Amino acid sequence: MKKINITPEEILRDHSPPVVELVNELRSLVRSTLPETTEKAYPGLFS
């Protein structure tokens, strides 16, 4: 299986500003709650 490297920002690029804002708030909450967590992005997961 080919590994695709993509950032959350690349996935969010085509979303509306309110969605991007909400996602970034949630990402911040997760990072502050679980600082050891590694963020990964999966393109097409919910498309």
pTM summary value: 0.74
pLDDT in tens, 22-40: 999 999 999 999 999 999 8
Q: What percent of the chain has pLDDT over 70?
A: 87
Question: In sequence order, which residues have a C-beta less than 8 Å from that of residue 12 and are 6 or more positions away?
Answer: 19, 20, 23, 24
Backbone angles phi, psi at 33, to 5 degrees: -85, -40
Give the pLDDT band of residue 3 (cuts 50, 70, 90): low
Residue 31 has what pLDDT? 94
Residue 33 CA to residue 4 CA, distance in Å, equals 27
